[in-house]
Structure 1
Amino acid sequence: MLLFASLRDQAGWDEQCVFLPDKDVVTAEDIWDQLKLGPRPASVQISINQRLVSSLTPVQIGDEVAFLPPFTGG
């Protein structure tokens, strides 16, 4: 799991391994819920294996999941 920018600052870490919840299908939103950072802002995008996906995309063991807040600057 990877966090960037303000999400990294809020959580206090930028990279971490997480355990998948014990259920048949685990989604990216389930992973977000494990972070305990509150509701996911609509502006935060999700990437699985460096591909932008929806929050309902299933996550597999070994996938790299990243949560990306809006980026600014240049």
Structure 2
Amino acid sequence: MPRMTLDLSVEIDQTLTDIAQQNGITKAEAMRRAFALLVVAYAEKKKPGFSLGIVRERDDHTLEAVGRVIGL
């Protein structure tokens, strides 16, 4: 398996640590999951009329857009 070394800001490293601890996973696994999401976002960006967003399910089971990712 290829290895990668990267420099992170203190803030990003702490956020990564928090995410890993809260989910009972390693920081490496958290990064793998983040890259998996990036792959999905990148693939969908290529499709005309598609955009990537964050939605929240309401109590009535409808969805509300609460954020949109741009610039991928």
TM-score relative to the length of structure 1: 0.29
TM-score relative to the length of structure 2: 0.29
Query: Where is the helix percentage greater, Structure 1 or Structure 2?
Result: 2
Greater C-alpha Rg = 2
